[in-house]
Chain A
Amino acid sequence: MNRAISWLALILAASSSSAAFPPRQASAGAPAASLLLDRVDANAIAGNKILVAEMVIRGRRDSRSVKSRSWIQGTEKAFTEYLEPAREKGTKMLKLGDQLWTYSPDTDRTIAISGHMLRQSVMGSDLSYEDMMEDKRLRLVYDATITGEEVVLDRPCWVLDLVSRTGDAAYASRKVRVDKERFLVLKEERFAKSGRLLKTLEVRSAKLVQGRWVAAEAVFRDVLKQGEGTVFKIETIEFDAAIPEALFTKASLRK
């Protein structure tokens, strides 16, 4: 969840400032794809941030809501505490680099999530722990090509095809639509190596917070599941917040 929010914040949050744009490629008016990715990464990855978010998980049978508060430092450190529902209250997760732990207050146990557990769903949502752990910058993992233009949410977007340049990426390729002015990913499809569509993301609304554009509401969907996707809503988000370093330790999970 922390990474879900982190991911959304990283990928979807972008500066609204219109900095001078670097050299262009492809069709007339199109920027260089790699530099566009740099821009998306740069705008998405903030220093410290604290956010309260809600996940509405729309399953095959019913819908449930999970609320959490996350403290995020760059792409390497994140700490999440679940607030609702009562069953999940007090459950905490800590991400340090490529390691992930979860703490359950009922059992008073801290368990490292690794191996095939990473493919499990986070709180029953459409997001997997593997999605959470995918913290590398897009620019470092994918080669990008601008393939066209689209209008998403009434916003003009560049369409980028991303192909993994490393073998260990969770998704072999992606197709993303990036807001031309806000550098916010508004729509995305993620594919397996076989070309099979695995997950989709659609931003429903964006808002400006402390000079950055963030996706206020987005639907993330695992197309292999039969539900209607998970709606992520950011209730509050604070950038450049002071976060005590001690929070990002295993000891803090049991406090």
Chain B
Amino acid sequence: MMTFLLKGVLRDRGRSLFPFIVVTTGVFLTVTLYCYIRGAELDVVRSNANLRHGHVKVVTRAYAKDVDQIPNDLALLGASAQIRDLERAYPDLEWVPRIEFGGLLDIPDAHGETRAQAPVAGFGADLRTPGSPEPGLLGLANILVAGRLPEAPGEMLLSAGLAERLKVGPGDTATLIGTTMHGAMSMTNFKVAGTIRFGIAALDRMGLVADIVDVRKALDMNDAAGEILGLSRDGLYRPDRLAAAAAAFNARFAGSGDEFAPVMQTLRDQPGMAMMFDRIRDVTNIIFVIFLLAMSLVMWNAGLVGTLRRYGEFGVRLAIGEDKGRIYRSLIAESLMIGVLGSIAGTILGLALSYYVQAVGINLAGVLKNVSFLMPTVIRSRVSAAAFFVGFIPGLLATLVGAGIAGRGIYRRQTAQLFKELES
């Protein structure tokens, strides 16, 4: 019976091709959107990880306690050795030192007197070491508004908004008035190499980025780092695996009472991150569910229309003595087959495109050349296990429900009406 019906579905394109195309298209869109949404979530994670938090972060216990105050007096000492140890223990992660700091930026006039002054919030990253991943992680080349990236000692990048306010540009000198890790006031001259626009309000208002060597010198933090960020080399955030790594790392120091012992925190463990990610997940889930409902309605409608188109056929089948229940069951079985075939085809197409967008990405660098906010220039999807079956929800269920509801008409079909319909 099933083989007979399947042959009918495959050979009688007049009644199966349209529903199949609708289901395939719907499932393809559903799978593609699902993967894109998960990819967008990943981009948020990636931006946060690259810019400030890492997929994991190693700091001292004391620093972790007051992390909001950026307590550089509690920074990790001997950062180079610590990074070497971390690289040995976690080779699948890339480890980079960072120093966040605050201070005042003082702009001199021709006589060296203060012409303008503004508070700044900056960070030091390894920008000059050849092969350093930092310029890429921070996407500095993409957000450069004027000038160039730091190439020589004592150069920095200043947020474009702050540069405009202070009336400075590439080539100008500015004095950073900060606080050393010993709490003393420090004054350090920097040359503005370029201006950047992060697209993050706080950073665009008062942001400053300099090479970590210069920041260490300015803040008297010889071989120290406020934070050591660990980022997975393939860019993917795997919370469970990283949580296990962090737990194992922290267990090594569990017996130590030293407040300056290192502690590893995952991205999700860091202040505010879990809540932010949960909210993003909630919002994207709502968006996806709305899309799923809309797509289900389309497919349900396709099932209804496909069944209604066959009322004539049902009348003839009833007239030649076929049982109503048998016709209804065959209709459901056919819609199930179309749903399965369409869902499989749509899922394959959707996954194929999503895999491509995940692996290669869609490069929008050209389009985003003049965009003045931080957003990834390469759009990437993410294919997860759920992507393999999410398309079956509208593809199978909606088609079945549509056919099931429309098929109820079979039981109301009057053969007496059939001849009138055939005559007309």
Give the B-binding residues of A (Cβ under 8 A).
57, 59-61, 64, 87-88, 102, 104, 106-113, 117, 120-125
Given A59-B73, A108-B112, A109-B112, is A102 in contact with B175 using a C-beta cutoff of 8 Å?
Answer: no
Q: A-facing mask of B177-197, CB < 8 A → 1, else 0?
A: 101101111111100000000
Neighbour of A88 across the interface among B74, B114, B177, B184, CB < 8 A: B184
| Distance in Å: Cβ of A222 to nearest Cβ of chain B | 10
Neighbour of B184 across the interface among A60, A110, A121, CB < 8 A: A121
For the complex of A and B, the 4 pairs showing the least CB-CB separation, nearest first, are A124-B183, A104-B187, A124-B184, A124-B182
Instruction: Compute how far the CA of A88 lies from the CA of B188 in the bound complex, rounded to whole angstroms.
Output: 12
For B104, list chain A residues within 8 Å (CB): 117
For A109, list chain B residues within 8 Å (CB): 106, 108, 112, 175, 187, 189
Given A60-B73, A61-B73, A104-B187, is A111 in contact with B175 using a C-beta cutoff of 8 Å?
Answer: yes
The answer to whether A107 and B182 touch across the interface, beta carbons within 8 angstroms, is no
For A107, list chain B residues within 8 Å (CB): 175, 187-189
Assess whether B220 is interfacial by the CB under 8 Å rule: yes
Q: A60-B73, A87-B220, A104-B187 are in contact. List 17 more A-B contacts (CB 8 A).
A: A59-B73, A59-B182, A59-B183, A61-B73, A102-B185, A106-B187, A106-B189, A107-B187, A109-B108, A109-B187, A111-B187, A120-B185, A121-B183, A123-B182, A123-B184, A124-B180, A124-B183
**Interface hub of B177, B179, B184, B260 (most chain A Cβ within 10 A):** B184
Q: B177 — nearest CB in chain A belongs to which residue? A: A111
Q: Which of B59-118 contact A (CB under 8 A)?
A: 62, 73-74, 104, 106, 108, 112-114
Q: B186 — nearest CB in chain A belongs to which residue? A: A104
| Distance in Å: Cβ of B272 to nearest Cβ of chain A | 25
The answer to whether B184 and A61 touch across the interface, beta carbons within 8 angstroms, is no
Q: B112 — nearest CB in chain A belongs to which residue? A: A109
For A61, list chain B residues within 8 Å (CB): 73-74, 260
**Interface hub of B108, B187, B189, B260 (most chain A Cβ within 10 A):** B187
Instruction: Compute how far the CA of A120 lies from the CA of B187 in the bound complex, rounded to whole angstroms.
Output: 14
| Distance in Å: Cβ of B218 to nearest Cβ of chain A | 10
| Distance in Å: Cβ of B33 to nearest Cβ of chain A | 50
**Interface hub of A87, A102, A113 (most chain B Cβ within 10 A):** A87
For A124, list chain B residues within 8 Å (CB): 180, 182-184
| Distance in Å: Cβ of B62 to nearest Cβ of chain A | 8
Instruction: Compute how far the CA of A122 lies from the CA of B184 in the bound complex, rounded to whole angstroms.
Output: 6
Instruction: Compute how far the CA of A125 lies from the CA of B189 in the bound complex, rounded to whole angstroms.
Output: 24
Interface of A, secondary structure class, is loop
The answer to whether B189 and A110 touch across the interface, beta carbons within 8 angstroms, is no
For B186, list chain A residues within 8 Å (CB): 104
The answer to whether B73 and A110 touch across the interface, beta carbons within 8 angstroms, is no
The answer to whether A111 and B182 touch across the interface, beta carbons within 8 angstroms, is no
Q: A88 — nearest CB in chain B belongs to which residue? A: B184
For A108, list chain B residues within 8 Å (CB): 112
Instruction: Compute how far the CA of A61 lies from the CA of B114 in the bound complex, rounded to whole angstroms.
Output: 35
The answer to whether B184 and A111 touch across the interface, beta carbons within 8 angstroms, is no
For A87, list chain B residues within 8 Å (CB): 220
For B189, list chain A residues within 8 Å (CB): 106-107, 109
Q: Which of B135-182 contact A (CB under 8 A)?
A: 175, 177, 179-180, 182
Instruction: Compute how far the CA of A104 lies from the CA of B218 in the bound complex, rounded to whole angstroms.
Output: 12
For A112, list chain B residues within 8 Å (CB): 114
For A102, list chain B residues within 8 Å (CB): 185, 187
| Distance in Å: Cβ of A4 to nearest Cβ of chain B | 13
The answer to whether A110 and B188 touch across the interface, beta carbons within 8 angstroms, is no
Instruction: Compute how far the CA of A175 lies from the CA of B365 in the bound complex, rounded to whole angstroms.
Output: 66
Q: Which of B208-247 contact A (CB under 8 A)?
A: 220
Q: A102 — nearest CB in chain B belongs to which residue? A: B185
The answer to whether A120 and B114 touch across the interface, beta carbons within 8 angstroms, is no
Instruction: Compute how far the CA of A106 lies from the CA of B114 in the bound complex, rounded to whole angstroms.
Output: 16
**Interface hub of A59, A64, A109, A110 (most chain B Cβ within 10 A):** A109
For A110, list chain B residues within 8 Å (CB): 112-113
Q: A103 — nearest CB in chain B belongs to which residue? A: B187
Instruction: Compute how far the CA of A106 lies from the CA of B214 in the bound complex, rounded to whole angstroms.
Output: 13
| Distance in Å: Cβ of B178 to nearest Cβ of chain A | 10
Q: A225 — nearest CB in chain B belongs to which residue? A: B183
8 chain-A/chain-B pairs, Cβ below 8 angstroms: A57-B183, A61-B74, A87-B220, A106-B189, A109-B175, A109-B189, A123-B185, A125-B183
Q: B182 — nearest CB in chain A belongs to which residue? A: A124
Instruction: Compute how far the CA of A88 lies from the CA of B108 in the bound complex, rounded to whole angstroms.
Output: 22
Instruction: Compute how far the CA of A120 lies from the CA of B182 in the bound complex, rounded to whole angstroms.
Output: 12
Q: A-facing mask of B376-388, CB < 8 A → 1, else 0?
A: 0000000000000
For A88, list chain B residues within 8 Å (CB): 184
Instruction: Compute how far the CA of A87 lies from the CA of B185 in the bound complex, rounded to whole angstroms.
Output: 12
Q: B176 — nearest CB in chain A belongs to which residue? A: A107
For A111, list chain B residues within 8 Å (CB): 106, 114, 175, 177, 187
For B113, list chain A residues within 8 Å (CB): 110
| Distance in Å: Cβ of A112 to nearest Cβ of chain B | 7
Q: B180 — nearest CB in chain A belongs to which residue? A: A124
Q: A-facing mask of B265-306, CB < 8 A → 1, else 0?
A: 000000000000000000000000000000000000000000
Instruction: Compute how far the CA of A121 lies from the CA of B186 in the bound complex, rounded to whole angstroms.
Output: 11
**Interface hub of A60, A64, A102, A107 (most chain B Cβ within 10 A):** A107
Instruction: Compute how far the CA of A104 lies from the CA of B177 in the bound complex, rounded to whole angstroms.
Output: 10
For A60, list chain B residues within 8 Å (CB): 62, 73-74
Q: B75 — nearest CB in chain A belongs to which residue? A: A61
Instruction: Compute how far the CA of A57 lies from the CA of B180 in the bound complex, rounded to whole angstroms.
Output: 14
| Distance in Å: Cβ of B101 to nearest Cβ of chain A | 14
Given A61-B73, A61-B260, is A117 in contact with B114 using a C-beta cutoff of 8 Å?
Answer: no
| Distance in Å: Cβ of A96 to nearest Cβ of chain B | 16
For B114, list chain A residues within 8 Å (CB): 111-112
Q: A120 — nearest CB in chain B belongs to which residue? A: B185
Instruction: Compute how far the CA of A138 lies from the CA of B189 in the bound complex, rounded to whole angstroms.
Output: 40
| Distance in Å: Cβ of A56 to nearest Cβ of chain B | 12
For A125, list chain B residues within 8 Å (CB): 183
